[in-house]
Structure 1
Amino acid sequence: MRRVVTGIALAALLTLTACGGGETPQEGAAVTITMWTRAATQAQSERLVKAYNAGHKNQVKLTVIPTDNYQPRIAAAAGAKQLPDVFAADVIFVPNYTSQGLFLDITDRIDALPYKAGLAPSHMKLGTMDGRQYTLPHTLDLSVWFWNKDLYAKAGLDPEKGPKTLKEFAEHATAVQDKLGGDGKVHGTFFGGNCGGCYVFTFWPSVWAAGGQIMNAEGTASLNDQAAMSEVFAIWRGLYDKGVTGPTAKEEQGPTWTGYFAKGEIGVMPMPSTTLGLMPADLKIGVAPIAGPSGGESTFVGGDSVGISSTTEHADAAWEFLSWTVSDEAQVEVMAKNKDVLARTDLAANAHSAKDPRVVLINSLVAKGQTPYAPRFGQTFNDPQGPWLRLAREAMFGDTTKVARLNAEVTASLQQ
């Protein structure tokens, strides 16, 4: 599972003037551009670079940086004006980079793409500032519900029918717990109860599916004390109080929260879509969209966006590579072939994905999901010391009368 990492303040970065990039050293000569990505997207980035290099005169030299070190490396390189030609970033933090002038304005280039309308909308939204566009979708990771078909059958549930509502999700999880949880090895569901990013990734889609929101559009006011979020918390708290979630959920900090499902120990739980291809071959898994308490469907659209650095001297060569990564060839024959979520909604039901209806479903959710925008997202929602985790833990395990006050603290953090 790629966990969302804590953001760093970018206020100290030098504001760089966007430039169009220099000419290639010699007309017609091959150009090698540099690219950075974080380790969380290494596999997808390496596949794309390898395929591109095999078929193009221009080449890409990829550097993979440990995820926890990635933002400090970007900050240092930006301050020294030594950014690579192309770099990817967790989509949540793209607004910080665009506001500091780190990406080249590629609006006109994007406008010329015949499939512009099909580019993942959430990623495109966060890569837009003042009506100008700076990034393309690079990799996508969606939150969905997985259910274990064998455990469903043993619990008397229909193994081919996953939950359609969050209330039904709770019923299914409870049934698995009641029928199979006696030995302490099997549990109805699981979640990261001490992980701010886990709550964001898995609980917020139920609010969106119900037609609610968790912040205002500007990302400066929290709505996590409103009815939609309160009902989602109440359903999950009921599962915890009844022992359906497993004994370690309360202290789960994130690194291992997806591992229990892969062991065949969990009936139904929210999971990252990228883990589907990593599951044991003999584990029979159903996939369903995350729903609200009474229906609807949504997803948290995570992953990375990619852009051209504002200091590049090879803007044309960099764009040749970036535009190729979202082409039909790259999306279908590189990404879809490896069961990755596609960066284009118009290619959701391609020949490779069509072989697995679960992948088609996951791809279809890209157009229905959301990626929340907030300039201070990391400090507020992902920081273990931030106000969001305190709010979530009171709502789940503590005194719910404190939620309103803590929600005000979330808003204060967003506005700093």
Structure 2
Amino acid sequence: MESTFADIQLARTLLKGVVLKTPTLYSLSLSRLFNTKIFLKLENFQETGSFKERGAYIKLKSLSYQEMRQGVIAVSKGNHAQAVALHAQNLRIPTIIVMPLNTPPMKVGHTERWGARVILAGKTFEEANAVAEEIAKKENLTSIHPYDDPHIIAGQGTIALEMLEDQPDLDVLLVPIGGGGLCAGIALAAKFLKPSLQIYGVEIKGYASMSQALYNTKEKKGEEITLADGIAVKHPGLLPKMILKDRLEGIEIVTEEAIEHAVDVLARQGNIIVEGAGAAGVAALFHNSSLFKKKTVGIIITGGNIDGRILSSIMMRGQLREGSLTLLRLDVNDVPGVLEKIARAIAKHQGNILEVKHQRLLYEIPIKMAEIDIMIETQDKEQVNTIMRDLKSEGFSVRQLRHPNLNFL
């Protein structure tokens, strides 16, 4: 069974009053940065923080009365788990969520908050899925697949209806691809409404499984943990593959660095909290901005479920890259007044001292000397260079640490 445009229209009717019709907002900062017109569809505004609620609800509503009474099961370590748990609770459907053993406690807690019974099993998604299949068979539960299902695809496709209703002049859509359910639904609806619209999928390097399936691209399979774990899928869905094969302009494969940069820019310039996978569309602009220059681009911000400590580190690293935060290391004589002299030199050029770490007990440092690490806030790299020149003229040995430990602050 393949989803149709009529299925997506029906899904929109069913979702009215159940999920948010999220805003599609013009981003002035990104538009200026990339010399294009950029609109962001903010699915991170949904109750569980992601677009997954749309497909989950439509799938649950498709079940028979007996299937609802018997219960459902899903495998996920994040957004799909929370979406199924929330709407199953609202529909009074017993729910089991199987999550891999390495799932962050925060995500386990959020899923349990919506009333689901959580089972931690398996080191990988595949192992967790095998456990879920056993439980489903034993307890006669209906499995809610995260992307390879026509009802899931129809639910996700409602995003395109809303975007084109709000911004009919869009030339391009940038859509993250994991298993492909979101991109398939959006492509199905968008191409029906506006055949000229160009649709690009976005995958993370090391997990470009849809690109391999459609275009036979070659790459080394990723085994490392990625910031974009929501789209780190090794095997795309068969239904999404069928839908996308004739509807995509192409797939952009972005790096971990581009994802991190996108999360940072959205947070610090756009005041938008977004998870790694949710920032994939913006990462594609950093990856290949010339492809979208002077076009009107729609980007789906798919989710905002990011750990606060990770977001804090990303924002710190962004400021370090720009030069607005800098960590200086000075080797000094361990005598009274030296810190005052350093502080005066920094203040003279309007630098702001955020933190000071004073080391005098390390074996590597001569007994009558000390090592001082100073984190300073400045306007730009030129201001940092001016401060360093002044410190050197005062007789200090000073160098900038290029890869500081972010636990310093």
TM range (shorter): under 0.3
Greater RCO between the two (CA within 8 Å, min separation 6)?
A: 1
> Higher strand fraction: Structure 1 or Structure 2?
2
Structure whose CA Rg is larger: 2
